[in-house]
């Protein structure tokens, strides 16, 4: 095992620790770790990320179900258009993207570069969401109200983005659940994990027929990430996750800028 692999597996643990500490965000590092430390092809990396994100989110979702925090009706309303969109995106759209997209002077934007640049933009948006870290007031709402058309549209958008970049999209889902389904923040965070788990794992199914999956590597990487979640949950007893969220947001912002620089200066 070389040094890059060691750092790659440490990165898998870090992904889980972040998820355990702040309840989301860590999965956005999965693709950069797979691509830059473990030299996985970007298209394959986004597929692997869906599996890692799906399994990790499922672990968190099961814990939240046990605590009675998951709103199943909202999860189903949001998840159905999301998982249909992510499945179609992974099975048909990603494979249909041409290998060479366009050229600017001497620079040719290939499919792999395009995916990483799009991913970097999503990282920048996610980082701003974490840095701003608005405190949503907990509200006790007697009846959850649904704006079905907007929830369905949001589900499709999140599904397409998840399908392309392999990230969970919690930074898009949580505000949607608060604003469109009027869920209290704590329930929105818990419910988003179940939505992310469902759409990520179903999206990954769309890849199984298109890609050669290295199951041994993928299961080891995922197992380490899940161990990291439990370590993060344990550490959360001593460290307040909300205080770390803004700092992690700055880290993701720097990573996003680095990816853009690296991909455009190859």
| Widest CA span in the chain | 60
E-strand stretches of the chain: 100-104, 107-110
Report the pLDDT value the prediction gives residue 101, as an integer from 0 to 100. 87
User: Positive or negative CA dihedral for 231, 236, 242, 243?
Assistant: negative
Through-space distance between the first and last CA atoms of the chain, rounded to whole angstroms: 26
pLDDT band at 139 (very low <50, low <70, confident <90, very high): very low
pLDDT of residue 33: 92
pLDDT band at residue 140, thresholds of 50, 70 and 90?
A: very low
Q: How many CB atoms sit inside 10 A of residue 95's CB?
A: 14
- Provide the pLDDT confidence category of residue 43 given band limits of 50, 70 and 90: confident
According to the model, what pLDDT value does residue 135 have? 52
Residue 38 pLDDT class (50, 70, 90 cuts): very high
Angle 4-7-9 (CA atoms, 0-180°, nearest 5)? 110
Helix (H, G, I), strand (E, B) or coil at 58: helix
Tens of pLDDT, residue by residue over 225-235, are: 999 888 887 88
Predicted TM-score (pTM) of the model is 0.80
DSSP notation for 53-89: HHHHHHHHHHHHHHTT---HHHHHHHHHHHHHHHHHI
Question: What percent of the chain is helix, strand and coil (3-state, nearest 5)?
Answer: 75, 5, 20
Q: Please give, one letter per residue, the 3-state secondary structure of 188-227.
A: HHHHHHHHHHHHHHHHHHHHHCCCCCCHHHHHHHHHHHHH
């Amino acid at each position: 095992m070389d040094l890059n692999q060691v750092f790659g597996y440490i990165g898998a643990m870090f992904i889980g620790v972040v998820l355990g500490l702040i309840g989301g965000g860590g999965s956005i590092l999965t693709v950069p770790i797979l691509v830059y430390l473990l030299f996985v092809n970007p298209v394959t990396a986004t597929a692997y990320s869906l599996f890692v994100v799906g399994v990790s989110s499922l672990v968190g979702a099961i814990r939240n179900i046990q605590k009675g925090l998951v709103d199943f009706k909202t999860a189903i309303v949001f998840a159905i258009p999301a998982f249909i969109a992510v499945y179609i995106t992974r099975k048909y759209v990603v494979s249909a993207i041409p290998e060479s997209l366009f050229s600017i002077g001497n620079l040719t934007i290939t499919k792999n570069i395009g995916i990483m640049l799009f991913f970097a933009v999503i990282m920048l948006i996610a980082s701003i969401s974490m840095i701003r870290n608005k405190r949503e007031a907990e509200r006790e709402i007697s009846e959850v109200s649904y704006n079905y058309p907007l929830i369905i549209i949001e589900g499709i958008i999140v599904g397409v983005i998840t399908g392309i970049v392999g990230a969970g999209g919690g930074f898009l889902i949580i505000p949607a659940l608060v604003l469109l389904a009027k869920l209290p923040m704590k329930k929105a965070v818990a419910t988003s994990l179940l939505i992310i788990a469902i759409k990520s794992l179903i999206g990954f199914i769309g890849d199984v027929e298109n890609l050669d999956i290295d199951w041994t590597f993928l299961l080891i990487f995922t197992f380490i990430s899940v161990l990291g979640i439990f370590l993060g949950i344990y550490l959360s007893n001593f460290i307040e996750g909300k205080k770390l969220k803004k700092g992690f947001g700055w880290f993701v912002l720097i990573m996003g800028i680095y990816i853009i620089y690296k991909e455009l200066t190859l």
